[in-house]
Structure 1
Amino acid sequence: MALLTFQGASAKEACFLFINGEKEGQEFAIDQLIRPIISTHIHPIKPVPAEGITSRQEELECLFEVSLVYSEKTLNMSLDTKRTESKISGFASSGNSFPDNIRETILTILFHNFSASSKKLICSQNADLFLEECPQFLKTLLIHQYNPDKDFSESSSQAVTVLAEELQTLIQEHQGLEFIGMAGSFQEDQILDQGPLLLKKYEANLAMVFHLEGDIIPSKSSMWKALASINVTLNAFKEKEGSFIKLGSFDIKPERIPVRTFQKKKSFREKHYGRAARKLIKKWSETELNQYLE
């Protein structure tokens, strides 16, 4: 939530920045979060002398004044300016933890005063905050999670390819998502450990991890010798404070197809897992998938 008011004034020289209400031990970090945003995108900021400023300077020079008030779970920030070219007065609150709460509140207050190019850059660099003012096009990275079953993982590459291509298409067609790329195949512990680094490497802010399970079992039917089945689980992750955080899961209803023979060869399993995957994507509910992707 943010309230903003703007009034004309006249001053183009560098301004002083004062921040009040910081928690002990966070003073420097908070200054280093707020100062670059204002100086880069709004107005030049100059350092306050060690001895402070005189009352005359306070009356004549332009100032940015930021006040922080903490409640049990919320940070409330207010900002006011004096003798700046455009008067800025705003308030915003955040329930995020430090330092995201500082980033969110200062960006929310100042957003409508940013230039078009600054808005684009701010939204790109702070996509993890999901700022209301930014278009929410999540940069989505697709990752395949290995099945620990060696027999299945060694004979399911065709199924993985089929499903990866279809999931890529769904992501590309979804209005709120931007497909960044396919990172490859990883074991579950590797994904949890390396997930944040993969998101950073690909400049993505959402990971869509898909996991396959399948089996080919003999059938007692007089017409079919076996049944091949495959099912898929989707898990969405984001990075937060260096950890890979799961946002939600979606299990796609398993698909089963009849097979006229039953063999244990890798090529046989590869072929029929691929068939099952192609049938699965024809029958899965795109409506349910799109609702999950929301």
Structure 2
Amino acid sequence: MSIVVTGATGNLGRHVVEQLLEKVPADQVTAVVRTPEKAADLAARGVRVAIADYDAPETFDGLFAAGDKVLLISGSEVGGARVAQHRTVIEAAKTAGVALLAYTSAPGSLTAALADDHRATEEALLASGVPYVLLRNGWYHENYTENLAPVLEHGAVTHAGGDGRVSSAARADYAAAAVAVLTGEGHENTTYELGGDVAWSFGEYAAELSRQTGREIAENPVSAETLTGILAGAGVPEPFAAILAGVDTSIAKGELVIDSGDLSRLAGRPTTPLADAIAAALKG
């Protein structure tokens, strides 16, 4: 039996593999990657590295074995292609008879277009009959803290989230929840709504940035249409810019406030405060 992580060298996958290696022997972990060079360090530590591509179903033939536990980290392409990619993994897992397939989905309350692929994947997974876990990950701190340059350059947090709040957490927190599921028992056919312990508003985010930088960082609320134009003007493809602005609309509706407590319970600790994530980003 192996614990298999797809997208293992991605932003979330790296955290998952590193945390798995703290709990299980390296030879029990399989890292599925497209580019083996990016996983050379993992291979050197004894992790099995498997080369497969969501867009090439044949590369998943024989990759899984009966009894494996699999983490399907959602692909990065937004649109119908992503659902087809996920179906490739689900079908391979079903054929192999894996013991569990956990999928990184989106909050059940999220109505933004970003959630469409996740809902379709969830339907495919449940229809497959494979024992599943839906890890409905909320927003990541890093969605904001990894893009601080324009905020600091213009001295403003521009958003279309109104007075809405966000229960974000660090990628490492979501990884810890995934590891708990992959290494634990009794999680089959369960859905977890995952989010940070403390929800914050964009005004509070701007205030925290001001405090830590010693500069005045203003809050700049705009409409979703205006935000789409700003993002497109900064080089984000317009369809994706509209999707991101749609998430802010969902934030304004309260759809990214997640108060289940599932994330900290699975991780076995409180989630990382936004202030800590900001401090780490500024230091870096």
Q: Please say whether Structure 1 and Structure 2 have the same fold, judged by a TM-score greater than 0.5.
A: no
Higher relative contact order (CA 8 A, sep 6+): 2
TM-score with structure 2 setting the length = 0.24
The structure carrying a bigger strand percent of its residues is 1
The structure carrying a bigger helix percent of its residues is 2
Q: Which has the larger radius of gyration?
A: 1
